[in-house]
Amino acid sequence: MGSITLKNVRKAFGDVEVIPGVDLNIEDGEFVVFVGPSGCGKSTLLRLIAGLEDVTSGQINIDGQDVTDAGPAKRGLAMVFQSYALYPHMSVRKNIAFPLKMAKMSEAEQEKRVAHAARILNLDNYLDRKPGQLSGGQRQRVAIGRAIVREPSAFLFDEPLSNLDAALRVNMRVEISELHNSLKTTMIYVTHDQVEAMTMADKIVVLRAGNVEQVGSPMELYSKPANKFVGGFIGSPNMNFIVGEGAAKHAAHTIGVRPEHWQLSTEGGEFSGTVGVAEHLGSDTFLHIHLDDGTPIIARAEGERDIHHGDKIFLTPQDGRIYRFAENGLAI
Amino acid sequence: MATRQTQSLAKLMRAPAIILLLIWMVVPLAMTLYYSFMNYNLLNPTGTSFAGWFNYQYFYTDPAFWESIWNTLILVLGVLLITVVGGIAIAMLIDKPIFGQGIVRILVISPFFVMPPVAALIWKNMIMHPSYGVFADIAKFFGMQPVDWFAQYPLFSIILIVAWQWLPFATLILLTALQSLDGEQMEAAEMDGAPALQRFIYLTLPHMARAITVVILIQTIFLLGVYAEILVTTNGGPGNASTNLTFLIYRAARLNFDVGGAAAGGIIAVVLANIVAIFLMRAVGKNLD
């Protein structure tokens, strides 16, 4: 079991209010991703749930029990840190067994659980090595192994993939998703990478300056962003925003159009502009376009296109793919 | 092009320093060895003659010899024990953020800057003196008989003084080690359910192992040669109760003017230091890898 509820949780460091008040419901077995730009308070929120920081006010419940004042060990959660935080002088085996040893579990049971975790994570051949002798991905697995053996009610991940190279990151992303599918345990995952958020999450919590901007499934956030910030944060490359005359035509202060939702034409369209840099990725081409009023736009063109720097181009948003925002940023 | 030439150039550039160090070391050692086999007394400098092993036999059969070796070892071990345990404790205390941290740290480190004879005299006359020392005042305040430290516990008093001088060194080295301890590791251990004592045993101590080794090795080198503190306080007494090997050699050379005997003692001290070094490297050397 691992349902977690935050009730008006506030956190201030001295006079600086990092989290002004968060209400959040996390269901048992969900994969929840906290996403937001650097310094938005997502790691702090995770540490509050872990018990590594004290809440200033508010209440945290795990499985219906108030754990606001309970120590980290009492909450039954396991955490994977950004730096992995492995114990450098212990072998992989001892690292993984450490929480069991602290729980005074019998040697046989420890051995059984370590072997089980090692099998799941492909660490069988590395059990007697020290963390210093492992690669980044292997260390990551050990850190996850140390979390698994405790059979916690929820896993907390604090930007676990940010120290890995790009290829490995994609692999570990899939492995963590697989792990979630086989364990069916609640996972809370903090990242600033919206691709990780989109690909892994059941539920995404978008944070800005300690405030929850929107909570929803990846597709909800993609297709129905609650405000301009969420619209701009989710999706890659970022959503294009157009203000002024072009937006007024759609009865909005700002309109947003995703790069993949433009229809491009060389003859005519709603907006016109000049092509700047064209990034050819093979499957897609991203065109950096300057509209006539100077607004920079990124548009995705499929496949290879014979478009060159300085060409005149016309753009029209696809039907029903225009996001309209009021002056205060909220979606209309 | 580079490697071979730079290597020989590097050898050439190193040579003066190495040769100087070698002369510095080898010449006194050779002279000591030479004199240790000679009958040479400053009271009768013309009567120099070859002595064979007599100087060694004489030094070895001195009734103070074994006692001085024993005292040397107790002194080294006692000071090491106090400084390492105390150093870890103080380092952990001043590692915590507190008001006036900078000043507290300077105060903690300051005894190291007091030269040994001065420190010993301060302890002798102002702290441990049976009639006007601070300890005596405290004892009198509680209505107890003041302790005459240097008469009743001479070796322990010297251990206390030397430990007071070396505690800052140990604290400083251990503090830097403590500061490099990864905070996330501690938090991970906390989440793993390890209480403070377990975190200390399983994380802090292994992390500091190398620093503790450095403290032990460096201090041992200097503690084997403690001399000034003994000279200005107990003068080796009462009897030979606070005489260590260094002080015994000093007595042979400067009180008996027996250069040959003192040289033999010096060679014995070198052998003892090497034996201690071998044991130390066996015991803690692997921490330095």
Tell me which of A156-170, A214-228, B44-58, B242-256 is least confident.
B44-58
- Is B11 within a domain? no
- Which residues of chain A make contact with B194, given a CB cutoff of 8 A? 73, 98, 102
Phi then psi for residue B63, to 5 deg, are -60, -20
pLDDT score of B136: 86
Identify whether B208 is part of a domain: yes
Report the 3 state secondary structure along A132-154: HHCCHHHHHHHHHHHHHCCCCCE
Taking the C-alpha atoms of residue A25 and residue A11, their distance in angstroms, rounded to an integer, is: 18
Q: Would you tell me which residues 63-92 of chain A have a C-beta closer than 8 angstroms to some C-beta of chain B?
A: 71-73, 77-79, 81-83, 85-90
Lowest mean pLDDT among A55-59, A149-153, A155-159, A247-251: A247-251
Candidate from B184, B194, B206 with C-beta closest to A85:
B184
Distance between B33 CA and the closest CA of chain A, angstroms: 45
Q: In terms of CA atoms, which chain B residue is nearest residue A99? A: B192
Tell me what pLDDT residue B81 has.
95
pLDDT at A208 over 70: yes
The domain total for chain B is 1
Residue with tokens 């000093």: B250
Residue of chain B nearest A74, judged by CA positions? B193
Candidates A78, A86, A90; nearest CB to B191: A78
In a domain, B274, yes or no: yes
Give pLDDT tens digits for A60-95: 988 888 888 888 888 888 899 888 889 988 999 999
The answer to whether residues B16 and B23 touch, using CB atoms and an 8 Å cutoff, is no
> Which residues from B are below 8 Å from A82, CB to CB?
184
Asked, for residue B28, whether it belongs to a domain, the answer is: no
Residue B1 predicted with pLDDT over 70: no
Burial of A259-289, coded b for 16+ CB within 10 Å and e otherwise, reads: bbbbebeeeebebebebeebeeeeebbbbbb
State whether residue B31 is helix, strand or coil: helix
Residue B244 is assigned to a structural domain of this protein: yes
Q: Which two tokens stand for residue B13?
A: 């550039």
Within A54-93, strands assigned E span: 57-62, 65-66, 77-80
Contact B206 A82 (CB under 8 A): no
**What is the structure's pLDDT at B166?**
93
Q: Do β-strands A203-208 and A31-35 pair in parallel, antiparallel, or remain unpaired?
A: parallel
- Chain A interface mutation, best of B184, B185, B190, B191, highest count of A Cβ atoms under 10 Å: B191
Q: Can you give the C-alpha Rg of chain A in angstroms?
A: 24
Question: Within an 8 Å CB–CB cutoff, is residue A46 touching chain B?
Answer: no
B194–A52 C-beta distance less than 8 A: no
Q: Could you tell me the pLDDT band of residue B165, with boundaries at 50, 70 and 90?
A: very high
Give me the pLDDT at residue B183, please.
84
The single residue listed with the structure tokens 């001399």 is: B227
Write the pLDDT tens digit of every residue in A117-126.
Answer: 888 888 888 8
Q: Is the pTM of this model over 0.80?
A: no
Closest CB from A82, A86, A102 relative to B194? A102
The two three-digit tokens of residue A255, written as one number: 């309109």
The DSSP string of B32-95 is HHHHHTEE-BTTSTT--EE-TTHHHHHHHHSTHHHHHHHHHHHHHHHHHHHHHHHHHHHHHHHH
Q: All domains of chain A, ordered by start, with CATH?
A: 4-225 (3.40.50.300), 237-325 (2.40.50.140)
Residues in B touching A77 (Cβ below 8 Å): 191
- Is the pLDDT confidence value at B173 over 60? yes
Q: How far apart are CA B186 and CA B180, in angstroms?
A: 12
Q: Is B286 on the interface with A (CB under 8 A)?
A: no
**What is the predicted pLDDT for the residue at B87?**
93
Q: What is the ipTM of this complex?
A: 0.80
pLDDT mean across residues, chain B: 87
pLDDT in tens, B67-118: 888 999 999 999 999 999 999 999 998 888 888 888 988 888 888 888 889 9
B169: CATH: 1.10.3720.10
Distance from CA of B274 to the nearest CA of A (A): 30
Inter-chain touch B188–A81, beta carbons under 8 Å? yes
Helix (H, G, I), strand (E, B) or coil at A315: strand
A105 touches chain B (CB under 8 A): no
Would you call A98 and B192 a contact, using CB atoms and an 8 Å cutoff?
yes
Predicted confidence band at B196 (pLDDT cuts at 50, 70, 90)? Answer: confident
Distance CA B247, CA B230 (A): 8
Instruction: Tell me which chain A residue has its CA closest to the CA of residue B183.
Output: A85
The answer to whether B154 and B203 are in contact (CB under 8 A) is no
Query: B16 lies in a domain?
Result: no
Span A293-305, average pLDDT: 82
The model's confidence at residue A190, banded by pLDDT at 50, 70 and 90, is: very high
pLDDT in tens, A172-189: 889 889 889 988 899 999
Question: Which residue does chain A place closest to B210, by CA atoms?
Answer: A89
Q: Which residues, other chains included, contact A153 with Cβ-Cβ below 8 Å and sequence gap of 6+?
A: A1, A2, A62, A63, A76, A77, A185, A186
Phi, psi of A329 (to 5 degrees): 95, -15
Q: Which domain holds residue B206?
A: 54-288
What tokens appear for A72 in the block?
């980290």
pLDDT at A304: 63
Q: What is the mean pLDDT of residues B170-185?
A: 90
The answer to whether B242 touches B72, Cβ cutoff 8 Å, is: no
Say whether residue A243 is in contact with chain B using an 8 A CB cutoff. no
What integer pLDDT is reported at residue A2 of this predicted model? 80
Q: Is the distance from CB of A221 to CB of A189 less than 8 angstroms?
A: no
Closest residue to B206, CB basis, from A52, A89, A99: A89
B233 part of a folded domain? yes
User: How far does Cα B20 stand from its chain's mean position?
Assistant: 26
Assess B207–A contact: CB distance below 8 Å, yes or no: yes
Q: What is the DSSP letter of A280?
A: E
Would you say residue B232 lies in a domain? yes
Whether the CB of B24 is below 8 Å from some CB of chain A: the reply is no
Cross-strand bridge partners of residue A211: A208
Predicted pLDDT at B144: 84
> Measured between alpha carbons, how far is A143 from B99 in angstroms, rounded to an integer?
36
Distance CA B124, CA A320 (A): 92
